[in-house]
Amino acid sequence: MNKPDLVASDLDGTLLDPSVRVSERTARTVRAVAADTPFVLVTGRPPRWVPQIVDGLGVAGVAVCSNGAVIYDAEADRVLHSTDIPPERLRDAARELRDALPGCTFAVERSTERARDRVDDQFLAEAGFHRVWPNRDIRVTGADELFDRPAAKLMVLHEQHRGADMVPAVHDVLGSRLCLTCSIGGGPVELSSPGVDKASGLAFVAGELDVEQDAVIGFGDMPNDIPMLDWVGHGVAMRNAHPGVLEVADEITTCNSQDGVAQVLERWWTN
């Protein structure tokens, strides 16, 4: 493609190396891009995980978070837009999944005005979810509180099944009433409002910046990146990507351990 007018990149398994850090080469290249062209992080992570990434990059701009549900301004530490699942839909989905898949447990990600707001207001989970996927940020609570407010993302775990293996069963139960994906093979199934995914979030940002779809380049490695790589003008998969991502990509670069994103971007930007 010609020199992109917007660069979009996933984080884990893509921009970040296997130690979940930004390498010096990648950080230098991203800074060179951002000095000239919008650079947008597009991640399944919630906004509260973004500040530590932008500190490593040295670039703070707009990020698409929670698989497209939340648009976050990292420089201002402000959520610009959030597409939430209403409480009644959260409750209905949880009830139906418990009936169909006994042993399911749930967590929610809620949007707050700022990523640096109290974490225990943002990530809430049932005790069973915390046992299966322990995380220091989780506030453990009951179903009544879990589903009493809108949430940007609903997550589902099972004590005996990997999240990636549960996707077909969850889809059979919920159909198109919620958008589902999985960003970590051993992690939870992730559910968003219908039509909300990385592509919709990135399209929102590109529209705000008046950038044409064909002028966007995107990088990814997991199934939740497939809508984005389908949408952009040029989709690049990492060599370490999920087979489904490799199949839809326009190009395959080297692994995230070998600065695969930087190797592509250095065609147009030198650091």
> What is the rounded average pLDDT for all residues in the chain?
93
pLDDT at 118: 72
Mean pLDDT of 138-160: 92
**pTM exceeds 0.85, yes or no:** yes
**Is the model's pLDDT at 186 over the cut of 80?**
no
Mean pLDDT of 212-235: 97
Question: Using 50, 70 and 90 to split pLDDT, how confident is the model at 148?
Answer: very high
**Is the model's pLDDT at 271 over the cut of 70?**
no
Q: What is the torsion angle, in degrees rounded to the nearest 10, for the CA atoms of residue 206, residue 208, residue 209 and residue 210?
A: 80
pLDDT tens digits, 115-139: 776 777 899 999 998 888 887 788 9
How far is residue 58's CA from residue 163's CA, in Å, rounded to a whole number? 33
**Is the model's pLDDT at 200 over the cut of 90?**
yes
φ/ψ of residue 243, rounded to 5: -55, -35
pLDDT at 138: 86
**Is the model's pLDDT at 244 over the cut of 80?**
yes
pLDDT tens digits, 73-88: 999 999 999 999 999 9
15 or 115: whose pLDDT is higher?
Answer: 15
pLDDT at 7: 98
Q: Which of 134, 152, 175 is nearest to 90 (CA)?
A: 152
Q: Which range among 138-142, 163-167, 172-176 shows the weakest confidence by mean pLDDT? A: 163-167
Question: Using 50, 70 and 90 to split pLDDT, how confident is the model at 165?
Answer: confident
- Reported residue count of the chain is 271
pLDDT tens digits, 202-216: 999 999 999 999 999
How far is residue 224's CA from residue 181's CA, in Å, rounded to a whole number? 6
pLDDT at 120: 73
φ/ψ of residue 101, rounded to 5: -130, 75
Ordered by where they begin, the domains of the chain are 6-82+197-265 (3.40.50.1000), 87-192 (3.30.1240.10)
φ/ψ of residue 227, rounded to 5: -60, -40
Taking residue 102's Cβ as centre, other Cβ atoms within 10 Å add up to: 8
pLDDT at 183: 77
pLDDT at 185: 67
pLDDT tens digits, 174-184: 999 999 988 77
pLDDT at 119: 72
